[in-house]
Amino acid sequence: MPNDVLTVHGGAPLRGEIKVRGAKNLVSKAMVATLLGDTPSRLYDVPRVRDVEVVRGLLELHGVRVSDDGNGAFVFDPANVGTATADEINVHAGSSRIPILFCGPLLHRLGHAFIPELGGCHIGDRPIDFHLAALRQFGAVVDKTAGGLHLTAPSGLHGTKFELPYPSVGATEQVLLTGVRAEGVTELRNAAVEPEIVDLICVLQKMGAVIKVHTDRVIEIEGVPSLRGYSHRPITDRLEAASWACAALATGGDITVRGARQVDMMTFLNVFTTVGGAFEVHDSPVDGGIRFFHPGGELRALAIETDVHPGFMTDWQQPLVVALTQARGLSIVHETVYERRLGYTDALNTMGATIQVYRDCLGGTPCRFGRRNFQHSAVIAGPSKLHAADLVIPDLRGGFSHLIAALAAEGTSHVFGVSLINRGYEDFDAKLADLGARAERG
Ligand code: EPZ
């Protein structure tokens, strides 16, 4: 597809202002939650990204009437929720992982659910064992077939006590979306507490759910017999904001990200400062945001580990590594959330970076992937002069980091498969143009 290639003339700083909207990883879950209400829900600031389209398609297949004003305000009317065929669902589910979260809401609404084979980025095995174990404890019966999962709940769904082996974001959402209407109390231990999860809890609370977040990753849900629709303005996309921040750093530029929120990015901002970047927070309820810029001088190497919240997010890792190729000294990155999230560094090496990946845990804490043959630690030697190359987008965040590298490199690069970036970055072509990037399709 010729239009799926971006030709990038790099080597110039990105400067200007862009805006981020609702967080993809909250918006898509809040959309699933609309199935649980008896009345319509209203969601604002919905970004035009592929994952949102996939969830919209799946909701419509199940009878939810979806309308939008073309400017990010959506209304979801669940009055006529019904069954969709496995074939239709398979066609629509595409490359997303969100369909697994339809289990609880569909079981509550219809008494059965079909979940297709899941897609998503190839950054590790990405099993769904925690999801299925939790659903079974709620009382679901899961039948695995070649085409997907068939679920029923012959005796209804009942509150339960469940401890996650690891604070998985998706499995925590699964328990929330199922527990809110299960009969009785559910206690989830070792839950994920990412800002997107807290915002999903706010959505569910607006719907009438009773959810308590205790200390030490314990969430308690009192099931209720029915829920109403909600009206919600989501938190903004801190993953996208950090990506543009790293683009500013790697290209020696200056980008103001309207909509970026300090409170969700505190850990990122600490790292950004340590490496030599600078930022200014603009507090304003209307057009607040954060200005991220390279203040001049040399960037500094550092050692970080990715972790669950409040640690340094795994999705911030890839764009940061591009900036670290420009830092003086040896940086160490220990990826502890996904076992195969460093594959994108090969392409950076072909552009002149010096990045060596290791199977060992090169961080303070041994992680789940140590001694298991996964190349999940990286040492980055810098600064390196990056030069142009032809690149193929491997996954969403790795792909964006390739784009940043092409923008930082001298010369003309061709980035193939850029449509994948639209899974999580709204209007990135237009934003690149607003930042003065010289890039064109084809
Ligand atoms: C969410 O994925 C995000 N995706 C990811 O962002 C993000 O990287 C991740 O959370 C961590 O913050 C969405 O919200 C759509 P997990 P999720 O369950 O929920 C293991 C992006 O680019 N695990 O927290 O799928 C798993 O293999 C995406 O926007 C099990 O072993 O992540 C991983 O090692 C990429 N069994 C770890 O837990 C399970 O049943 C964390 O995964 C579930 C997870």
pLDDT of residue 89: 83
The answer to whether the CB of 5 falls within 8 A of the CB of 442 is yes
The pTM of the full predicted model, rounded to 2 decimals, is 0.97
Atom of ligand 1 nearest to the CA of 96: 15
**Residue 360 CB–ligand 1 contact under 6 Å:** no
Atom of ligand 1 nearest to the CA of 124: 27
**Rounded Cα distance, 63 and 35, in Å:** 10
Atom of ligand 1 nearest to the CA of 123: 35
Place of tokens 């507490």: 193
The alpha carbon of 122 and the centre of ligand 1 are apart by a number of angstroms equal to 11
Q: Which residues pair with 379 in a beta bridge?
A: 332, 356
**Residue 26 CB–ligand 1 contact under 6 Å:** no
pLDDT of residue 327: 98
The one-letter amino acid code at 181 reads: R
pLDDT of residue 123: 66
Atom of ligand 1 nearest to the CA of 196: 14
pLDDT of residue 85: 86
Pocket test for ligand 1, best of 24, 131, 166 (most atoms within 8 A of CB): 166
**Residue 376 CB–ligand 1 contact under 6 Å:** no
Q: Which residues pair with 180 in a beta bridge?
A: none
The alpha carbon of 169 and the centre of ligand 1 are apart by a number of angstroms equal to 6
Measure the N-to-C terminal CA separation of the chain; round to a whole number of Å. Answer: 9
Within 145-277, strands assigned E span 148-152, 161-163, 185-189, 210-214, 218-222, 231-232, 254-258
Place of tokens 């830092």: 327
pLDDT of residue 262: 97
Atom of ligand 1 nearest to the CA of 169: 24
The alpha carbon of 259 and the centre of ligand 1 are apart by a number of angstroms equal to 24
3-state SS class at 415: strand
**Residue 25 CB–ligand 1 contact under 6 Å:** yes
Both tokens of 408, joined, read 């930082």
Both tokens of 238, joined, read 């801190």
**Rounded Cα distance, 346 and 84, in Å:** 42
**Residue 396 CB–ligand 1 contact under 6 Å:** yes
The alpha carbon of 194 and the centre of ligand 1 are apart by a number of angstroms equal to 11
Question: Residue 270 region, left (φ>0) first, then alpha (ψ -120 to 50), else beta?
Answer: alpha
Alpha-carbon distances of 77 from 31, 42, 64, 109, 254, rounded to whole Å = 11, 9, 5, 14, 42
E strand or H helix at 272? helix 266-274
DSSP state of 259: T
For residue 346, give every residue at least 6 positions away whose Cβ sits within 8 Å of its Cβ, in sequence order, or none: none
The alpha carbon of 168 and the centre of ligand 1 are apart by a number of angstroms equal to 6
**Rounded Cα distance, 20 and 174, in Å:** 26
Q: Which residues pair with 18 in a beta bridge?
A: 257
**Residue 131 CB–ligand 1 contact under 6 Å:** yes
Per-residue model confidence as pLDDT tens for the chain (442 residues): 557 999 999 999 999 999 999 999 999 999 999 999 999 999 999 999 999 999 999 999 999 999 999 999 999 999 999 998 888 888 777 667 889 999 999 999 999 999 887 766 676 778 899 999 999 999 999 998 878 899 999 999 999 999 999 999 999 999 999 999 999 999 999 999 999 999 999 999 999 999 999 999 999 999 999 999 999 999 999 999 999 999 999 999 999 999 999 999 999 999 999 999 999 999 987 889 999 999 999 999 999 999 999 999 999 999 999 999 999 999 999 999 999 999 999 999 999 999 999 999 997 789 999 878 899 999 999 999 999 999 999 999 999 999 999 999 999 999 999 999 999 999 999 999 999 999 999 8
Give the residue among 387, 41, 428, 325 at the shortest CA–CA distance from 207: 41
Preceding omega of 295 cis (within 30 degrees of 0): no
Ordered domains of the chain (ranges, CATH): 2-20+236-441 (3.65.10.10), 24-232 (3.65.10.10)
**Rounded Cα distance, 81 and 155, in Å:** 21
- Which residues are tagged catalytic? 121
Which residue has the least CA distance to atom 31 on ligand 1? 127
**Residue 134 CB–ligand 1 contact under 6 Å:** no
Pocket test for ligand 1, best of 27, 123, 126 (most atoms within 8 A of CB): 126
- CA dihedral sign, ordered 268, 269, 271, 275: positive
How far out from the chain centre does Cα 239 lie?
A: 7
Please give the backbone phi and psi of residue 153, each rounded to the nearest 5 degrees, phi first.
-140, 75
Helix/strand/coil (H/E/C) assignment for every residue in 40-68: CEEECCCCCCHHHHHHHHHHHHCCCEEEE
